[in-house]
Chains A and B, each alone.
Chain A
Amino acid sequence: MAGVVLENLSWKKLIILGVFLLVLLITFFLVGGLVAPKPSNVVTVLGTKCYDNGKKLNRSKWFVSRGIHKCEELQNLDPTDEMIVNKSITEKQVVFSFWLPGPRGGEERKMTPLFQNMLAVLQVDIEHSDKVPLSKNPVLQLDVRLGARDEGDDEDDWKQIASSVEDRNLQCTLEKGKGEGYLYDCELLQLFELGSISNHYYLVNIRLPVNFLKGYNVGIGKVVDISIHLIHQNGGFTIVWMSMKSVLFVMVLSLLIWFWRRIMQLGRPPNLLERTLFSLGVVMSILDCPIELLQLGVDIPFMLLLNDIRQGAFYAMLMSFWVIFAGEHIMDQTERNRLSLYWKHLSAIIFGSICLFVFDMCERGIQLKNPFFSIWVTSAGTKLALAFIILAGIAAGCYFLFLCYMIFCVMKNISAKKASLPTMSQLRRKYYLGVIYRFRFLMMATLVCAACTVVFFIMSQLNEGEWRWGDEDLSLEFTSAFFTGVFGMWNIYVCGLLSLYAPSHKTVVEIDSADGSTEENVQLTQLPTTPSETSALQALTSKAAQD
């Protein structure tokens, strides 16, 4: 790749562009921090203990925790309680009922498609009792149903979305010195995940059937309460995020068209680096494309999976781009410009991506069928999931080793070339200086972006949404700012690459004016015929022909 825009840009223009991009970045950061609410919200719903007074176990009946069809409620499940003793209530007759979300401000709150997706986790409150010991590593078996209803529907008309019998491993601890009547500290259990929200109200019914023969729910101790923490994306965040994505989509797409037209004007087939850069732009615009907006009208349950794939594709493409960019800047005498040269690196990336893809399909793919599914609950599933993740990690490690080696080679060659620069002719020196400058610029930009991402990530992990800057009147929602800021930053990174590393038209003119034509011919023949230089020559000749 000869003569990119970057080399021929005056400092002034470069600084203007840099400032423009920086302002853009700060805008994204502030939009996230000031306009958007925090990315997701949690609704905690405590289960109502319903009494199923039917003689036979009726799994098709819904138990509703409030409203006109409210079930008969049990205040407590103590074995000594009068009503429980009198009616000899058994565990089969106890249903934990959850109406999601809860009422607030005097009215029932509704879920909206703006929330995009929801994830429910279960918190089981188990009271310590010497009479009712908690066995070691007990398995909680949940007989769970998920139903949904819209606001206008009949109050009784709950439609079943999913139903399943699920096992979850309970991991509970009790602080030392605490005895009878204290609650165990139990780890949260995943209940379900829905990729789309198309109803207003959701109803969860959970039973904990005991089976002594098979050992289900036997050693689970004295379960006193179950609550659900429902996590959903905030509507405001969705709106801000979608608007931002739309803007970025248009920006990247128009730059991409400009970039491609520029290459077309060259009159030569695009070289590898240009093609890679173009692909990166394409993947970025696919990621930017706000297809989530469709969810507002259509029910798309596979959106979570699709988003994961889009994001994964972007990471893979970005990593491929780095390795190809570094490879194309090794200033040795080998013939490059071929994808096959990078098979080692690319296969590491592809292998890692496939591992993660398979893992994601196992988790989110199966969740499309059964939202209660989680690969982590069974030990075999955990091993499988860990195996995929470890394999992907190894692939990523290999990739980084290759990349580091490549960068090391480039650095070595740069210093070698630098030493011999003064002895070179002007054109040759200009060529090498250009290569070095291009490489260093990208290296710096990449490092800055990566460092920013890491720093922001750590900051957002440290304060977990509690981060507030300034007064109550001017609070900055840091987590949202982190998401919009980092997403905006990588978009700007790609935009910057597309605009600065596009082939320049200026080069040739400058060479023409600066050097005598006779000298130029001599110099050109002396140049090593690396692919990028042949393209320079092509550019030169095509430009000359145009002139």
Chain B
Amino acid sequence: MRTLNSLLIMLILLIWYGEGKKTKLKGIRWWTLANIGKPSNDLRSNTQLYNSPSLLPLTKKQRKLVTKHPGTISALQNGARMAIDECKFQFRNRRWNCPTQDVGNGGPIFGKILDKGNRETAFIYAITSAAVTHSVARACAEGSIYSCSCDYNLKQPSGKDWEWGGCSDNAKFGHKFSRKFVDVLEKGRDFRYMMNLHNNEAGRVHVSKEMKKGCKCHGMSGSCAIKTCWMRLPSFRDVGDRLKDRFDGASQVISGNEGSRILGNRPNTGRKKKRYKSFQFAPVNPNHKKPGRRDLVYFDSSPSYCEKDTSIDFPGTYGRECNATSIGIDGCDLLCCGRGYVSKSYMVRERCSCIFRWCCDVKCEVCTRTKVLHTCK
């Protein structure tokens, strides 16, 4: 059975390599938006972006979408940055520490790992898609995207608008926009396409599911006879945490029996609302549960990430700083893959006993300390 499965995977991979080589990384170029203008308060980089949209590393469809919704570009830029920062934060203690390359316009910022279909790839897709959802929703709340859709709350006949029933939550637009913007890249009908779409959606769903409810009573004399509740956007750190949990529990899959997507129009209920395409994935280990909407899926096994691997542009864990006392994955034993580590003590002058004054003033003393640095051999 196992051999059959691996054969199948190899077959799929072969097919995929055959047809998708040319276009496969074109769409994810938008990630390089993160590099345009460092995250600072310098406004010039943003205006530059507006002025020359042709320079954007986007596909035609994406560019159309961005032009249709002015203001989304800085949200996307923000989102790409958020995704990268979050990825680096979540993986700071692991062998694969989400390395990014400072490539010029157009190159894949996460490197060739995207050619693979492993756990890490799944995480990258999910976190970037989630970041777009999050930052677009945030930009809607900030009022920097004028064209955020209203989606009147009640499915009433026409003529009912914002004055009648108010608009929907900002997150809804973020979700929709992310779907249109991110998923547009995944063309074709191969297994990788299905995996990426699934992981994209998983990322978005996590943003919606992590939303917290806030309520306020405003009845007679402020009593709770009338109580209004709303959902508020989670912090992106929380989304990252959840996605990391899902990364740890991600399931290796093969294509399900049908092998193709099932359009989620529930046949009987006749609902108008289209459910998003859901795919049939079968876990490689038949004892495992089928992956749900929020689970990450992958089909390639990850390498050990110990040695330098040119096929994914990963430098290995040589020279990485590690924690000598930890027995976890950040500990020197595991991180250095048993190669051992070098300890070096050094003097450092750093800021200490700081007094912070909101918002942006920190007064510190400078202290000299001796520190020990452990690095992998």
A interface residues with partner B (beta carbon < 8 Å): 37-48, 51, 65-66, 72-79, 81-84, 89-91, 94, 99, 102-109, 112, 114, 119, 121, 123, 125, 129, 131-132, 181-183, 185, 188, 193, 208, 210, 212, 217-218, 220-223, 227, 229, 231-232, 234-236, 239, 307-308, 311-312, 356, 359-360, 363-364, 457, 461, 464-466, 471-473, 475, 477, 483
Contacts and interface: CB of A to CB of B under 8 A. Distances in A.
A210 B357 contact: yes
Given A44-B232, A464-B215, A91 B359 contact: yes
- Which residue, B163, B213, B215, B269, has most C-beta atoms of chain A within 10 A? B163
A182 B214 contact: no
Interface residues of B, number: 64
The 7 A-B pairs at the shortest CB distance, nearest first, are namely A41-B166, A37-B165, A83-B41, A236-B164, A42-B230, A46-B141, A235-B163
Given A181-B89, A231-B218, A465-B229, A103 B269 contact: no
Interface stretch (B142-150, B277-285, B317-325): B142-150
Interface in B268-315: 269-273
Contact of A79 (B212, B230, B356): B356
B228 A465 contact: yes
A312 B220 CA distance: 8
B359 A231 contact: no
A42 B228 contact: yes
A357 to B, nearest CB: 9
A43 B226 contact: no
Contacts, number: 207
B235 interface: yes
A225 to B, nearest CB: 9
B221 to A, nearest CB: 5
Contacts of A210: 357-358
Contacts of A359: 221
A188 B216 contact: yes
Contacts of A46: 138, 141-143
A84 B358 CA distance: 12
A83 B42 CA distance: 7
A44 B143 CA distance: 10
Contacts of B361: 79, 90-91
A448 B227 CA distance: 24
A48 B142 contact: yes
A238 to B, nearest CB: 10
23 contacts: A40-B228, A45-B141, A73-B43, A84-B360, A90-B359, A90-B360, A91-B359, A94-B359, A103-B145, A105-B147, A105-B149, A106-B146, A107-B146, A112-B163, A181-B237, A208-B359, A212-B357, A222-B356, A227-B141, A236-B160, A236-B163, A236-B164, A464-B227
B148 A236 contact: no
B164 A471 contact: no
A48 B356 CA distance: 22
Contacts of B356: 79, 129, 131-132, 222
B329 interface: no
Interface in B342-372: 354, 356-362
Contact of A235 (B164, B222, B272): B164
Given A104-B148, A106-B146, A75 B39 contact: yes
B41 A81 contact: yes
Given A45-B143, A103-B146, A125-B235, A231 B358 contact: no
B271 A105 contact: no
- Which residue, A73, A193, A307, A363, has most C-beta atoms of chain B within 10 A? A73
- Which residue, B160, B169, B220, has most C-beta atoms of chain A within 10 A? B220
Contacts of B153: 37-38, 41
B101 to A, nearest CB: 23
A291 B356 CA distance: 53
A119 B216 contact: yes
A229 B155 contact: no
Contacts of A188: 214, 216
A43 B166 contact: yes
Contacts of A45: 141-143
B1 interface: no
B54 interface: no
Given A119-B218, A131-B356, A229-B232, 18 more contacts: A37-B160, A39-B226, A45-B142, A45-B143, A73-B43, A75-B40, A81-B360, A94-B360, A103-B146, A104-B148, A181-B237, A188-B214, A208-B359, A222-B356, A231-B216, A231-B218, A311-B220, A465-B229
Nearest to A376: B222
Contacts of A102: 140-141, 143, 148
A79 B269 CA distance: 55
A339 B138 CA distance: 62
B162 interface: yes
B40 A106 contact: no
- Which residue, B40, B164, B222, B358, has most C-beta atoms of chain A within 10 A? B358
B129 interface: no
A386 B69 CA distance: 50
A364 B220 CA distance: 11
- Which residue, B166, B218, B354, has most C-beta atoms of chain A within 10 A? B166
Contacts of A364: 221
B10 interface: no
B162 to A, nearest CB: 5
Contacts of A212: 357
Given A38-B153, A66-B144, A103-B146, A91 B228 contact: no
B41 A82 contact: yes
B73 to A, nearest CB: 14
Contacts of A181: 89, 237
A212 B357 CA distance: 9
B284 to A, nearest CB: 32
Interface string B149-179: 1100111100010111111011000000000
